[in-house]
Amino acid sequence: MRRFALIAVPYLWLLALFLVPFVIVLKISLSDSALAIPPYLPTLDLKAGWSGITEFFSQLDFENFVWLTEDDLYWKAYLSSLKIALVSTVLTLAVGFPIAYGMARAPQHWRATLLLLVILPFWTSFLIRVYSWMGILSQEGYLNQFLMGIGLINEPLIILNTNVAVYIGIVYTYLPFMILPIYSALEKLDESLLEAAEDLGCSRMSAFWLVTVPLSKQGIIAGSFLVFIPTLGEFVIPSLLGGSKTLMIGKILWEEFFSNRDWPVASAVAVILLLILVIPIILFQRNEQKQREAEG
Amino acid sequence: MAIDEFAPWEDPEAKPIIQFKNVTKRFGDFVAIDDLTVDIYEKEFFALLGPSGCGKTTMMRMLAGFETPTEGTILLSGKDIAPVPPNKRAVNMMFQSYALFPHLSIWDNIAFGLRRDNLPKNDVKDRVEEMLRLTRMEKFARRKPHQVSGGQRQRVALARSLAKAPKLLLLDEPLGALDKKLRQDTQFELMDIQEKTGTTFVIVTHDQEEAMTVASRIAVMDNGKIIQVSTPDAIYETPNSTYVADFIGEVNIIEGKATSVGEKLSMAWAEGQPEIVGTPTTEFEKGQSVHFAIRPEKVSISAEKPETANAVQGKILDIAYLGNISTYHVELPGGQIIKAQAANNRRLSRRSFTWEDNVWLGWTDTAGVLLGR
């Protein structure tokens, strides 16, 4: 009985705060927009009894999903989001792996401090940090002032409101999520394995590819998903740092919802986004499972 | 002496495979290896024995190429190996932790070094299978290292380090992680494999019994220096210092002063006690301080005064029963405690001596060694 109660609490939590809202969103995505409060039709009229319920269900349709396929804005936004998420993940990995490697190789008494430095940015609001990037990247920003100051460029670079700024913002924001799992994998790596590889004829470089990388594979996969999944639906970074050409589904969603007040279409966009995300989430879970099995 | 006995170190013509020439290694202020010179010959099973921190692992790591000497040179087959990186040396190492690659199967672990040499696939396959046969691991080839037992992992590590047929194999505490019974079996297996492959083995160990069992020669080390290099029996029977005598096996050490020197040496060691007579192997001067070292099994214990050159009386303080033998701790009138061992060839209930018994201890004038330090 007690065990049941223990399991029931988190499940009730998920039911109330995830499944129920999802069903509501799903229902809205099947409705039609209307100039009313709430801004969609139909609404369930329980007073009408059984006929009210059948009436309600008969009015639901997939019109909004069909609409998403007809207007090329949406699938372009999905593709562009996928591309930005993919490129950002690769960039974050390229930046994060060397940092994690350096941390794992650092003397023992330094590691706790280095770990703290990675987590430290979380102590300030995410929004403030993104806004400060605007100050750094803008035309009169610190970066351009610095580059022009040392005479490297004559004209200020246009970075803010481009995809480059979006990549910078995403890599910066999600870097800790990449570093931490890779670090934890590399920290467990036994130094004598690398010596054994060298002893058996590997150069330093090939020992890295044949031993270090395969043994930190789980960390690399985990880190990549932890970056890829939230980046795909990212809204704040592209809307603050990106320009009008930056097409990301999170931004479209926000505009449908708040600018166009077309809740049903916005809901349909959200449902599709969720379906796209289910695939990497399942893959991520499977990776975690494999890792647990390997360690168990 | 038999003609075919393996003793290249006694042959002035023999060329050593490894030569340490005045090698010193410092880590900051710490001197790990102190001006060390030693030769190791082909097909030897050479043991580096010493307490932890004596520099034996540093010596091995210099041979493998993970450390370079601060001063001096190390020659492998007559060539200085200092500039050769570990991956280019014809030397392989078996690590104390085994260092098996956890993501590779046992087969792939053994093939790892062969593949780095870009050997044709079939040659790799043949060699791996030969190694699996040698270590009797054929059945486990497809398993991952964590799916086999500790003893099997040890054999995989050995197979992997032997696969490239190195000129020299280094073994860092190879049996340290095994339990006693398995360790003893594996020692004989190691000797067997060493003989079959004809590879020169250098083993690092702190277990004197292990070194005695497997090695053709033992180097006893302390504080970065080699104290004595010799065959196991010579190390045991004629140690060159009290340190070596004390480190290998059990020993009684009695300090005294030489009263007469010559073919036989007499040593005064306590008031009112008969002088100890021994046969010196080195020069001693009259009046010089001498350490007399004798193994417990060379001291006889009896109720009557024995006929031996040395005989002292004492009282049994303690008896350690070890099954096949018993060690008697006998206190002499001066307070000195001498250990004597006797085989238990009678049932325990019929043992001749018990606690507090007065007994005679005896030994011949050649049973012990006289040491200057």
Do A236 and A146 share a structural domain? yes
Do A53 and A178 share a structural domain? no
Q: For residue A161, is it within any domain? A: yes
List CB contacts (< 8 A) between B95 and chain A. Answer: 192, 195-196
Tell me what pLDDT residue B2 has: 45
The alpha carbon of residue B92 is apart from the nearest alpha carbon of chain A, in Å, by 6
Does B147 contact A at CB distance below 8 Å?
no
- Residue pair B219/B226 in contact by the 8 Å Cβ criterion: yes
Q: For residue A98, is it within any domain? A: yes
Do A242 and A112 share a structural domain? yes
What part of B 115-134 touches A (C-beta under 8 Å)? 116-117
Contact A192 B95 (CB under 8 A): yes
The alpha carbon of residue A118 is apart from the nearest alpha carbon of chain B, in Å, by 29
Do A262 and A149 share a structural domain? yes
Which residue of A195, A199, A205, A220 is the best one to mutate when testing the B interface, meaning the one whose CB has the most B CBs within 10 A? Answer: A199
Which tens digit of pLDDT belongs to each residue from B263-312? 888 888 887 788 888 888 888 888 888 999 999 999 999 888 888 889 99
Q: For residue A80, is it within any domain? A: yes
List CB contacts (< 8 A) between B99 and chain A. Answer: 190, 192-193, 195-196
Does A69 contact B at CB distance below 8 Å?
no
Q: Containing domain of residue A117, as a range?
A: 73-295
What fold is seen in the domain B250-371? OB fold (Dihydrolipoamide Acetyltransferase, E2P) (2.40.50)
- Domain stop point among A7, A31, A61: A61
What part of B 31-70 touches A (C-beta under 8 Å)? 64-66
- Domain stop point among A38, A61, A84: A61
The mean pLDDT value for B210-223 works out to: 92
Q: Model pTM? A: 0.80
Contact A193 B93 (CB under 8 A): no
Burial of B21 (0-12, 13-18, 19+ CB in 10 A): middle
Do A120 and A33 share a structural domain? no
DSSP annotation string for B264-308 = SEEEE-STTSPPEEE--SS---TT-EEEEEE-GGGSEEESSPPSS
- The closest CB to that of A200, out of B96, B102, B113, belongs to B113
Do A225 and A113 share a structural domain? yes
Contact A200 B103 (CB under 8 A): no
Which tens digit of pLDDT belongs to each residue from B345-368? 877 666 778 888 889 999 998 888
Question: What does the pLDDT profile of chain A (296 residues) look like in tens digits?
Answer: 778 888 888 889 988 998 999 999 999 999 888 877 788 888 777 777 788 888 888 888 888 888 888 888 899 999 999 999 999 999 999 999 999 999 999 999 999 999 999 999 889 999 999 999 999 999 889 999 999 999 888 888 898 999 999 999 999 999 999 999 999 999 999 989 999 999 999 999 999 999 999 999 989 999 999 999 999 988 889 989 988 888 899 888 988 888 888 899 999 999 999 998 888 888 888 888 887 777 65
Tell me what pLDDT residue B4 has: 62
Do A221 and A121 share a structural domain? yes
Q: For residue A5, is it within any domain? A: no
Do A226 and A203 share a structural domain? yes
Do A34 and A181 share a structural domain? no
Q: Where are the domains of chain B?
A: 8-240, 250-371
Which tens digit of pLDDT belongs to each residue from B87-144? 999 999 999 999 999 999 999 999 999 999 988 999 999 999 999 998 889 999 999 9
List CB contacts (< 8 A) between A192 and chain B. Answer: 95-97, 99
Q: Which amino acid is at A68?
A: L
Do A129 and A91 share a structural domain? yes
Do A286 and A146 share a structural domain? yes
E strand or H helix at A27, and its extent? Answer: helix A20-29
Contact B87 A214 (CB under 8 A): no
Tell me what pLDDT residue B333 has: 85
List CB contacts (< 8 A) between A196 and chain B. Answer: 93, 95, 99-101
Q: For residue A258, is it within any domain? A: yes
Which tens digit of pLDDT belongs to each residue from B41-57? 999 999 999 998 899 99
- Write out the E strands in chain B: 16-27, 30-41, 45-49, 71-76, 79-80, 91-94, 168-172, 200-205, 217-222, 225-230, 252-260, 265-268, 276-278, 289-294, 300-302, 310-321, 325-331, 337-343, 358-363, 369-371
CATH number where A126 lies:
1.10.3720.10
Q: Which two tokens stand for residue B97?
A: 């932790």
State the CATH architecture for B8-240: 3-Layer(aba) Sandwich (3.40)
Does A95 contact B at CB distance below 8 Å?
no
Q: For residue A206, is it within any domain? A: yes
- Residue pair A192/A180 in contact by the 8 Å Cβ criterion: no
Q: For residue A4, is it within any domain? A: no
Does A197 contact B at CB distance below 8 Å?
yes
Does A205 contact B at CB distance below 8 Å?
no
Contact A195 B113 (CB under 8 A): no
Q: For residue A221, is it within any domain? A: yes
Do A165 and A25 share a structural domain? no
Q: Which two tokens stand for residue A190?
A: 């036994």
Does B188 contact A at CB distance below 8 Å?
no
Report how many domains make up chain A: 2
